[in-house]
Each structure stands twice: as structure tokens, then as C-alpha cells.
Structure 1
Amino acid sequence: MKRNVSVVCVLCLLLVLTTGCWSRRELNELAIVTGIGIDKLDNQYLLSLQMLNMGQAGSEAPGGGGGSSLPVTTQYIKADSLFEGFRRLTTKLPRKLYFSHIRVLVFSETLAQEGLRDILDLFVRDHEIRPDFFLVVTKGVEAREAMSQIVPIEQSPATALLKNLEISEKNWAPTVAITLDEFITDLMKVGKEGVMTGLQLNGDPHKGQTDANLKTVHPRSNFRFSSIGVFKNDKLVGWLNEDEGRGFSYITNRVNASVFEVPCDSGGKAAVEVLRSSTHLTGKAPGGEPVITVGIAMEGNIGEISCREDLSKPETIYAFERRAEQVIDGFIHKAVRKGRQSSSSDIFGFGEAIHRYDPRNWNRLKDDWDRHFMSVKVDTRIDVKLRRTGKVGQSFIDKMK
């Protein structure tokens, strides 16, 4: 009897493991959303949802002649709320929207200036949406125009934005890739404001919305990441230019690899390739006076030179290292100056650094940190080491007749 009871219990436990695919959703029943653009129009949200055209997504890349239609489609809907808009869009589509593969979320500049707090709540709350996609704010164009572009190389424009942003951040210091998780965390931190990558369109945005953009050597419209949007709480309040963006990336330890120019003593300039960079940010507030120390250790190569300098001499290399340190110092102070001009926005986390290293004095500053941020003293300790000069030391330019 006991044996029979044991067998029945084991069978019951096995039944729990054989529930089958009760929550399955077939691929041919889903509209996979890869990118979302959000504008504000007539006090309503204009949503632009870019979805894979599953009948063409596995064919040849755009421009390769595989398939009679485009690999993506973009649908537009106006609504008072995002959730309502997503559900209302089902009246135009034969498939259920599926949000687990979102690559980018694009906001218009005007909408970002009004504030993103209420919009972001849905993307944090919904169980189907993963918070690891990138946030982008347009500059000079609407989000719907960005989400309507057809681009070469990549089948999905949203995937093109994703890969472009990832590659650019790893190789070009003025670009930053910010995920939803990271931006939300910055919104909740005391002593740290958020940033977002700026997106521009080169060329004619309307001509980039057809497959004619794929059938020319020089596309009529293409994406370009430029500038970094500065936020105060959830509102866009300013932009960092290229040099200021470099300074932000150095301060916040975001530089993986990059290139910048260093002047020569004899006129002309040299291009320094950044191989690796590490930043250590510390803060304190003795006597209520905040002081931030930015320590940077950078290694690089001289990749190009357009002046008469003999790089085979150690003293020449040492001189270039000191000048490179001065250039980086200039980037940092330009970025801090712009942060102060943009509604006292501490995008660098100076307040957070003081909180971490000097919590007692931070408690005296935090309630009025915006005012203290305007007068914080920023000390830099930069150490640049140039390891190589390429295949040659002295340039052939010096030996020309």
C-alpha cells in the first residue's frame, strides 16, 4: 500500500514538469517590435513602431535584391497614453505586438524638453519589456522621421541604430550608449543627473523613407550620432558638443578607445589613438567646500603626425604626453562648464562621489547641491603614456626634398 502511495506521489510530481507550452505564442502570430519613436502632437503621443516584416526578414540584406518588399514596416498611431496607443494599434495589424526585442527607444527633442517621467513608467512596469535597450533623443528632427528611415547594410533600421551606437561608443569618446536601466537609476540617484545620446539625420529625411535610399552609392539620408543630451531630472536642458562629450566620457570612465589631436611645437598636429583609459573619481567637502579629484590613466599610440617632429627621440614623446594631458584637461573643464550652464546639471556624479567618500559633509550639502555644484573645485591628475609610434619613428616628411 505504501509503495502504491509513493508511486502516485512521484507521478503527481512528474505531472508538474510536463505542463507543456501552455503560454506559447507562435512566430506567425506576432508582430516583433524592434524600435519605438515617440513624439508629442496636439497634446497626444504620436507613436512610431518599427516591426519586422517576417516574410522578408530572412531574405538578403537591403540592396541585395532578395525579396519584393522591405524587411521592416513602421506603423503610426496617436493616443492619450502609450498603453492605449499600443492596444489601439491592434485595430490596424493582423498580429499581436511583441515588445521583448526592442533595440532602441527614440524620443523627439521637444518631448524630452517637456519631460519623460510619465512615458518611462510603462517601459519599466510592463513584464514583457526588457530594460536593456538604448535610449536616444533626436536633435533637429522628429522621432517619427528617424523611425521611418530605410538604411543600407542592416535589414532593420532599429538594429542599425543599435550596432552603430555600440560600435561608436567603443571607438569614439564623444558617443555614449545609455540603456533604460541606467537612465532610470540616474533619475533616482541624489547627486547625479542623466544623459542621452543625440541622433541627427543627414540629408533629406523624406527621401530616406523609401527603398530608393538603398539603390544608390551615396544614400540620400542616413543616421548620425552627434552631441549628448543633458538632463535635469527627466527634462532635456542642453547639449554637449564633441569636445564637451569627450570630457564627460573621461570623467565618467566611459572611454574605451578614441582619437584626439595634439598640437606640435613646430606647428601642425598629431593624432593620438587612445588604447585604454581608466578614471578614478573621488570627492570631499572640507569645511563645506566641495572638491572633486579626477584621476585619469591613459595609454595610447601616435597614429598620425603632420609636423616635423622626430618621434625616435624620448624627449619628443615625453613632450607629446604632457601636451596630451593638457588637451584632456581642457576637455574635462569644457564639459564641467557646460554642465553648470545647463540648469546646474550634475551629469558627472560629483555629488555621488562626495556622498561615497565624505558622507558626513555630504549630508550638509545635499539639500542645496545645485548651488554647491556651481562652485565645486575640480582637480585633475592625468597621466598619459604613449607606447608606440607605428612602423616608423621619424616621418618621411622630414626627408623630403
Structure 2
Amino acid sequence: MKKLLVLLLISSLMLTSGCWDSREIEERLFVTAIAVDINEEVQEGNVNRLIITYKYPNINTIGKNSGSGPINFTLSIPASGISEESTAFMGEAPFPFYFKHLKVIIFSKELLEHEELVRHILDELNRSPQINKRARIAVTEGKARDVLKVTGDQEYRIEGSIYQVLRNNKFTNRFTVKSLTDLITDFDVTGVTIVPRISIVSGKFVVSGGCILKNYKFLAWVDQNQNRAINIMNGIIGLENIDTIYNGILLSYTVTRGSSRKKVTFDDGITVRFDIKLEGYLQGYNISQKNLVYDEKTLKGIENNIAEELEKKILDTRKFLDEIGAPLFGVGEHVSKFHPKMWKQVKDNWQEMMPEVKFQLNIDVNIRRTGLTK
């Protein structure tokens, strides 16, 4: 029995896989953020049309017995692509790069004006088994590498701070979260997508609004209000404030939960019905008559006012999207998923047909609370 047990233990050791490349954790450079810019100094005939920037933590400053020094290192180099650049760094970096912990990829607007470069980069990122496909995407109007150089009194390392903001829409609808996989899928399905816009303001990064890409190329910017309308129409509803004027009084309505459902019919052209439900509370108001806000009729009037304000913003956003040819309300995705036969008939001309699609908005706003005091 003992011999059999020993034999089983030896066999398990032989069959158990270990570290496949036999490298210690201290001998890896864990890239957490990548910035991609255009190489403005490239000469004719030079294939290194990009400036790729890696940011990775200084592991000597991590842990209980950590030492001193910078908490991050940043390296930039001209390159023709992402993978080529990682080997080009071997003359400067002491160890190989590791991308499975990649959190953020930032593109510059200037880069996104070159369709062939964007296609090349996304194809390379998609094919590479080393790249984390759940990395979050963002776009900046200036240099992407400048965003990675931003420092501030923040809880996380800078790439961690950006990732904490970009990871989900739980606390805001000012932007639309987009992973590398989401980005590639959007291009494959409709050819249009929206990516968070990241800017540097007073030495700190701010994520607000979005960048619309169409056919692998920059199309337009949207502000946070337009982005909020796009998110709500796609059922992405997080904690958000909606300001409105009711009888000359400024009111602030905080959304705590909500839903958005689509129903598409094809009887007389294409008609889409959006059923939007929002729940929340009044965050701030100033009504002169005492306790008037607690009157049921007044509350109903405020709810209708908020619904009308939201409907106006949605229709204004739809008009803007139709003008630039960017169907971002998720109608195409809905038709392709739930009406595949119809989608085969319209998908080739969908972007041209979208302005003719009829919208029916049914917005139901509920005020659940009005505050702790009367």
C-alpha cells in the first residue's frame, strides 16, 4: 500500500505542470498600460510609423519590505507595431515584457485618423495570445503617452487609477466602457463604436464623453450629455444626475436604477419602441412654498418634466448621430440578434437606413425619495 502511494505521488509530480518558461516573478516586467501615438518624425520609407509607450510598475516598491524609487517606469520607442516594439525594448529593459496584466490601452486621435494603421494595430492585438483582451480602451485628443506620464495624489498607481475609472459604468453614464474585445466586436457587427475620451485637466486625467469611430477611423467627439443618452438607449444606466428646470426652479434628479428595453416592428417600415424606466430621488431643489415638493400632483409634474427633458436630449443626440452616420443606439445589434432574417436583408445598407427608422420613446420616471427633512 505504501509503495502504491509513493508511486502515485511520484506520478503526480511528473504530470503536474510548473512554470512553463521557468522565470521568476522578479524577472518579468508586467505591462499595465500601453499608449500608441503617431511618429511625427518618421522619414519617408521608414516603417516605424508609431510611438509605442509601455508603463509597468517598479516591483521593488511593492510589498512589505519595499524599497525606494519611482513606483512606475515608462519606456517609449518608435516601432511598426506592438509586438515588434516589445522586442526592440530588449536593449533597454532588463527583463521580458508580460502582457497578461495589461489594463489600459490609450490611442491618440491623430493615430485614429489613419485607418490602415488602426486596422493593423487591432489585428495584431486581437491575434496575439499574450495580450489581455479585457483591457480597457480610451482615446485622447493629445499625445497618448502624456496621459501615462500624469501623476497625482491618487490611491492607485496611475494606470490602476485609469483602470478603476474605466472598468465599469456603475457610478456614472458620462462615458461608455469599452474593452478590446468589445471594440473589435462592434467593428465586426455594425462598423461603428464609441470609446471613452480621456483628457488631462490641471495635471490630472479626466474621463468624460466619448470618441466615435467608424470603419476603423475617427469620426466625431461626443460630450457627456450625448454619451449619457447613448448609454440610456442601450440599457447602460448607472448612478447619474439629471438637471432640469421646473416652473423656473432648478432641480437635480439622481438616478439610482433603471432599465431600457427595445421592441422592433416591421409593419410600416422599421419602428423601434424604447421603454425606459428610471428610479431615483431629488438631490437638490429650492421651492419657496413650504412642503410643496411633497404634494403628489407636484411630484407627478416634476417626473413628467424630467421625462420630457431626457426625451429632448435623446432626440437631439439621435439627430446628431444621424447627421454623422453613426447608429449607436443598439438597434442594429438588436435586429441582428432577435430578427436575423430581417438583418440579412438590411445590414448592407443599415447606416443609410437608420435615419428613416421611426422611434417611439416611452419614458417612465419615478421619484422614490425627496430627502430626509421637510
TM-score w.r.t. length of structure 2: 0.89
Aligned position for 1:133 = 135
Query: Are the structure 2 counterparts of residues 198 and 272 from structure 1 closer, same or farther at C-alpha, using a change threshold of 3 Å?
Result: same
**Gap runs ≥5 in structure 2:** 43-47
Aligned position for 2:30 = 32
Query: How far did 1:357 drift?
Result: 4.2
Aligned position for 2:106 = 106
Contact 1:243 1:334 in 2 (8 A): no
Residues of 1 paired with 2:62 and 2:320: CA distance? 43
Q: What secondary structure does 1:195 align onto?
A: strand
Q: What secondary structure does 2:211 align onto?
A: strand
Query: Are the structure 2 counterparts of residues 7 and 247 from structure 1 closer, same or farther at C-alpha, using a change threshold of 3 Å?
Result: closer
Contact 1:264 1:307 in 2 (8 A): no
Aligned position for 1:161 = 162
Of the three residues 208, 211, 220, the one matched with 1:226 is 208
Q: Residue 177 of structure 1 aligns to which amino acid in structure 2?
A: V
| Greater Cα offset, 29-38 or 350-359 | 350-359
Of the three residues 370, 381, 384, the one matched with 2:351 is 370
Residues of 2 paired with 1:257 and 1:19: CA distance? 45
Q: Residue 303 of structure 1 aligns to which amino acid in structure 2?
A: Q
Aligned position for 1:270 = 251
Residues of 1 paired with 2:130 and 2:332: CA distance? 35
**Gap runs ≥5 in structure 1:** 61-65, 204-220, 394-401
Contact 1:135 1:178 in 2 (8 A): yes
Aligned position for 1:17 = 15
Query: Are the structure 2 counterparts of residues 72 and 9 from structure 1 closer, same or farther at C-alpha, using a change threshold of 3 Å?
Result: closer
Query: Are the structure 2 counterparts of residues 123 and 297 from structure 1 closer, same or farther at C-alpha, using a change threshold of 3 Å?
Result: same
Aligned position for 1:390 = 371
Residues of 2 paired with 1:120 and 1:159: CA distance? 23
Contact 1:294 1:379 in 2 (8 A): yes
Query: Are the structure 2 counterparts of residues 23 and 86 from structure 1 closer, same or farther at C-alpha, using a change threshold of 3 Å?
Result: closer
Aligned position for 2:70 = 70
Aligned position for 2:45 = none
Query: How far did 1:117 drift?
Result: 2.0
* 1:83-102 alignment runs, 5 A limit: 83-102=83-102
Q: Does 1:239 align with 2:239?
A: no
Q: Deviations over 1:159-212 (max 9, x none)?
A: 010112347x322212221111111111111x4621100011013xxxxxxxxx
Of the three residues 267, 270, 274, the one matched with 1:290 is 270
Query: How many residues end up aligned between the 2 structures?
Result: 362
Aligned position for 1:123 = 125
Query: How far did 1:334 drift?
Result: 2.2
Contact 2:82 2:125 in 1 (8 A): no
Identity %: 23
* 1:132-281 alignment runs, 5 A limit: 132-139=134-141, 141-166=142-167, 169-189=169-189, 191=190, 193-203=192-202, 221-265=203-247, 267-281=248-262
Residues of 2 paired with 1:8 and 1:172: CA distance? 58
Query: How far did 1:121 drift?
Result: 2.0
Q: What secondary structure does 2:78 align onto?
A: strand
Q: What secondary structure does 1:94 align onto?
A: coil
Query: Are the structure 2 counterparts of residues 10 and 136 from structure 1 closer, same or farther at C-alpha, using a change threshold of 3 Å?
Result: same
Query: How far did 1:19 drift?
Result: 4.7
Query: Are the structure 2 counterparts of residues 124 and 260 from structure 1 closer, same or farther at C-alpha, using a change threshold of 3 Å?
Result: same
Residues of 2 paired with 1:194 and 1:27: CA distance? 37
Q: Residue 348 of structure 1 aligns to which amino acid in structure 2?
A: F
Q: Deviations over 1:292-332 (max 9, x none)?
A: 21111111101110343611111111011111111221221
Query: Are the structure 2 counterparts of residues 241 and 67 from structure 1 closer, same or farther at C-alpha, using a change threshold of 3 Å?
Result: same
Residues of 2 paired with 1:277 and 1:19: CA distance? 47
Contact 1:192 1:352 in 2 (8 A): no
TM-score w.r.t. length of structure 1: 0.84
Residues of 1 paired with 2:337 and 2:56: CA distance? 44
Q: Which has the higher contact order (CA 8 A, sep 6+)?
A: 1
Aligned position for 1:48 = 53
Of the three residues 275, 293, 313, the one matched with 1:331 is 313
Q: What secondary structure does 1:229 align onto?
A: strand
Query: Are the structure 2 counterparts of residues 20 and 131 from structure 1 closer, same or farther at C-alpha, using a change threshold of 3 Å?
Result: closer
Q: What secondary structure does 2:134 align onto?
A: coil
Query: How far did 1:59 drift?
Result: 7.3
Q: Residue 300 of structure 1 aligns to which amino acid in structure 2?
A: G
Residues of 1 paired with 2:163 and 2:106: CA distance? 11
Residues of 2 paired with 1:317 and 1:107: CA distance? 45
Q: Residue 134 of structure 1 aligns to which amino acid in structure 2?
A: R
Query: How far did 1:155 drift?
Result: 4.4
Query: How far did 1:34 drift?
Result: 0.8
Q: What secondary structure does 1:163 align onto?
A: helix
Contact 2:60 2:68 in 1 (8 A): no
Q: Residue 151 of structure 2 aligns to which amino acid in structure 1?
A: I
Q: What secondary structure does 1:170 align onto?
A: coil
Q: RMSD value over aligned CA atoms? A: 2.5
